[in-house]
Structure 1
Amino acid sequence: MIARVGLAAVCGAGGQDVITLRGITWDHPRGRQPLEETADFYADRFGVRVEWSARSLKDFGDAPIDALAERYDIIILDHPHVGIALTGRRPLLPLDTYIDPADLQTLAGQSAGPSHESYMLAGHQWALGNDGAMQAGSRRTDLGSFDWPGDWESVMALGTELTKGVSRLAIPLAPTDAVCSFISLCAGRDGMNEPARCFVKHDVGLWALGVLQRLLEVCHPQSPHWNPIAMYEHMSTHDDVAYCPLAFCYTNYSRTGFRPRQIAFGPVPQPRGSVLGGAGLGVSARCRHPREACNYGLWLCSAAVQRGLYVRHGGQPGNIEAWRDDAADEVTGGFFSGTRQVIENAFVRPRHVGWPAFQEWAGNTIRSTLLSRSDHAACLRAVESRYQQSLDAVEP
């Protein structure tokens, strides 16, 4: 695939000086390694080098991207942030103005679930889905012979049974994870955004808060303090967490040798609605070499690179061809075959400009309600009211 100017235009042939682009990703081997480890490869062949920096997982999920667009050419971003592209700040380049429509159509057809589509808004493609993820189930297969629970009552029963032994159920409930798990539960019951401008159906929202409250009763005591990375780090180095029903997945932890113990990833206890995660490659509107940046994005997101170099260097591709590849599946300990159906049925969060600030507020509110055992109906009313306000926001 090529941008409209063609990859040949940026190849480093004939002694041409190397163009340097600055990129910002997020700080985890999954976010950094496949980008950093392929930088020399790309520079040697195409005369363009991307120098990468990283920000925290929390800033990746919650912090506005307009300030990053002032300092970096390429931004790895979360799809709920694309709404800022429509504000007066216009920090992102509409990639469809530089990339051939046929190439975008190819990537759309190769998208891992709704990854590619999640970066399209108001008729423009604001990022390319280089990383694919969603909330999934996870377990230590050496800590029990139970089947993957198929519904939430089965999860509760398993959680209760596990309290009798050494290993427990866990679910990360840091603020972002609290609100995303709430959304997954609601989306699994078709409770999101119905009717129009409503965040969640009231009865479904009450049910979801009730499920999370019950889970907290049987979870590992550190669950409220964990994000997915912290939980997987613990889960892969200790033997007191056997199963998690819902958390953003990381293929690194299913690979042999990444940590002392492997984690298996699989289905969630509902047929659909798991919240989409992942990351997309956006280009700053202030980038001095937009065609080169777009060409790099097309190369990085191509099926050949995603199922090859990207996976080998610890990446979690946004291209479904990698999820279907037997060699990639073997490298990742069956991660892709175990979770492909989950990402194909994932739920895309709202992407209006007020969403990131709302998500941060709602996550803190839901988490504090669960920890204090406060009134669920009052929490839901407050969340709904704040969501209505977020819809009318014109700036982040």
Structure 2
Amino acid sequence: MSAPRAYRGLTWDHPRGYVALERAAQRARADGLDLRWERQPLEGFESHPIEDLAERYDLIVLDHPHIGDAVAGDCLQPLESLFDAATLAGWRAQSIGRSFESYCYGGTQWALPLDAATQVAAAREDRLDGPLPQQWSEVLALARRQPVCLSLAGPHAALSLFSMAAAHGDAPAASEPGRLFAGKGAVAAWELLSELNALAFRGWAALNPIGILDAMARNAEAVYCPLVYGYVNYAVAGEGRQPLRFGDVPAGPGGSLGSTLGGTGLAVSRRATVDDTLRAHLAALMGPAMQRDFIPFADGQPSAREAWADARVNAAWNGFYAQTQATLEQAIVRPRHPGYIPFQTEASALVRNALADRLAAAPALAALQSLYASRRPAGSEV
């Protein structure tokens, strides 16, 4: 009898990214699956070229904005070639918010939403002088009384602006092809971000979301962050860490909870020869037993809506899921066209520099539009 085919997978180096996958793969060895997971830093997950990874790994945990480059590079297998239409439709129906559709591009599904996340609000409730802000105006008022931080390092400056614009009715790339923002909503968002940045605590300016949440849980130099990618792991106490309170992001003038979808998808590279054992394992990861009863108790954040509403799951994680579900349901999907990832990196640097210079909305947004137009191939899907 021949040895089982060996598969290599790549995920990201945080318990939310690897614990459930590694434990599930260990369990599946009894069924004959030889799958070994390797890890890369969060920054690599956010920006490493997907074509390079697909040459070396069979399974890749990725973010949805990489899909356009992956399709252009023809480096992933369409999931329609591995699963029937009814199965994919069932997974679409069970997935929270737009987590499933974010991996659909050009009418084809390229990854499974293994993990669901978006920007949410985080606080040290024991240090906060009142309830979590419900409106952006309340965030400004809080920032004048207590230290409030912003998540602006890496790609997050642009993503914060995107979310604030969406809260003001101006989600990015939603108005017309090739146009980043429609107008007034983005202007209001820029003015809000600029004012808040001038008031914000700056001690954690270089930290990614994990670093911000860890610092807040350990020393609470800042007591509140209105937009930071949620990590359920910080909702409970840990060694040297206090639990954080997570909640919905502040609402815009019309009540919209502007937030930019994150989470991760599980894609199959062209180099993989998928056998029935691997196919069954991928299906199991999306099944109710894994999504509700396994992944939430292995440091993960499931993509199934049922898990986010489950009383036992919420009891284990101090209500993290129920307290942020509304934000996730309304989260926007970023552009996914080829060239988006370098745009996101450059746009974030532009936003940080413009904020530091207290640039007005008109020139800042014009510079972003010029950059977007230069990075988006003509005629490409958003």
Listed as ranges, the matches of 1:96-135 within 5 Å are 96-135=80-119
SS at match of 1:241: coil
Task: Flag the 1:303–1:248 CA change in 2: closer, same or farther, 3 A.
Answer: same
Distance 2:318 2:149 in 1: 22
Structure 2 counterpart of 1:251? 232
**Other-structure match for 1:11:** none
Question: Per the alignment, in what secondary structure is the counterpart of residue 337 of structure 2?
Answer: coil
Conserved in 2, the CA contact under 8 Å of 1:156 and 1:215? yes
Partner of 1:378: 363
1:40 aligns to what? 26
1:362 paired residue among 347, 363, 373: 347
- The residue aligned with 2:15 is 29
Percent identity, aligned pairs only, is 35
Q: Secondary structure at the match of 1:356?
A: helix
Alignment of 1:56-95 (within 5 A): 56-87=41-72, 89-95=73-79
- Gaps spanning 5+ residues in structure 1: where? 1-14, 163-167
Q: How far apart are the structure 2 equivalents of 1:33 and 1:258? A: 18
Give the counterpart of 2:250 among 258, 269, 281.
269
Structure 2 residue identity aligned to 1:186: A
Q: Tell me the CA shift for residue 375 of structure 1.
A: 4.2
Report Cα offsets for 1:40-67 as digits up to 9, x if no partner: 11212x2113211111212211222000
Aligned residue type for 1:54: R
Match of 2:325 among 333, 336, 340: 340
> Which residue of 136, 150, 154 maps to 1:171?
150
**Aligned with 2:225: secondary structure?**
strand
Whether 1:140 and 2:140 are equivalent positions in the alignment is no
Match of residue 241, structure 1, among 222, 225, 229: 222
CA distance in structure 2 between the partners assigned to 1:175 and 1:201 by the alignment: 25
1:100/1:147 Cα in 2 relative to 1: closer, same or farther (>3 Å)?
Answer: same
Q: Please, which moves more after superposition, 215-224 or 31-40?
A: 215-224
For the Cα contact (< 8 Å) 2:32–2:277, is it kept in 1? Answer: no
Deviations 1:296-327 (A, max 9, x none): 22211222101122111100111112101111
| Contact 1:95/1:294, CA 8 A, preserved across alignment | no
User: Within the alignment, does 1:349 sit opposite 2:334 as a pair?
Assistant: yes
Question: Structure 1 residue 136: deviation in Å?
Answer: 0.3
Match of residue 53 from structure 1: 38
Alpha-carbon offset, residue 259 of structure 1: 5.2
Distance 2:160 2:296 in 1: 27
* CA distance in structure 2 between the partners assigned to 1:53 and 1:341 by the alignment: 33
The answer as to whether partners of 1:369 and 1:379 remain within 8 angstroms in 2 is yes
Q: 137, 155, 160: which one pairs with 1:153?
A: 137
Amino acid at match of 1:40: Q
> Partner letter of residue 30 of structure 1?
R
* CA distance in structure 2 between the aligned counterparts of 1:259 and 1:60, rounded to whole angstroms: 27
Amino acid paired to 1:288: T
Q: CA deviation at 1:203?
A: 2.8
1:284 deviates by: 0.2
Taking structure 1 as the reference length, what is the TM-score of the superposition?
A: 0.90
> Given the alignment, which residue of 309, 318, 322 partners 2:303?
318
Contact 1:144 1:242 in 2 (8 A): yes
What amino acid maps onto 2:6 in structure 1?
Answer: T
Count of aligned pairs between the two proteins: 373
Post-superposition offset of 1:258: 6.0
CA contact (8 A) 1:84 1:91 kept: no
SS of the equivalent of 2:160 reads: helix
Query: Which residue, 245, 256, 267 being the options, matches 1:282?
Result: 267
**TM-score, normalised relative to structure 2:** 0.93
**Separation of aligned partners in 1, 2:372 and 2:284:** 38
AA aligned opposite 1:173: L
Q: Comparing 299-308 with 69-78, which one deviates more in the overlay?
A: 299-308
1:227 to 205, 208, 217: 208
Please tell me the residue identity of whatever aligns with 1:274: S
Following superposition, the deviation at residue 21 of structure 1 comes to: 1.1
Taking the aligned partners of 1:121 and 1:382, their CA distance within structure 2 comes to 28
Distance 1:174 1:67, change over 3 A: same
Stretches of 4+ aligned residues off by more than 6 angstroms: none
In the alignment, the residues of structure 2 paired with residue 121 and residue 68 of structure 1 have an alpha-carbon distance, to the nearest angstrom, of: 19
Match of 2:192 in 1: 211
Structure 2 spans left out of the alignment, 5+ residues:
none
Q: Which amino acid aligns with 1:61?
A: E
Q: Would the alpha carbon gap of residues 68 and 134 (structure 1) be closer, same or farther in structure 2, given more than 3 Å must change?
A: same
- Contact between 2:168 and 2:189, CA under 8 Å: does it hold in 1? no
1:58-88 Cα offsets, whole Å, 9 max, x none, are 221122200000000000000011112331x
CA contact (8 A) 1:98 1:291 kept: no
SS at match of 1:130: strand
Instruction: Please give the root-mean-square deviation of Cα atoms over the aligned residues, in Å.
Output: 1.7
- Letter of the structure 2 residue corresponding to residue 178 of structure 1: A
The answer on whether the counterparts of 1:139 and 1:264 sit within 8 Å (CA) in structure 2 is yes
Deviates more, 1:120-129 or 1:33-42: 33-42
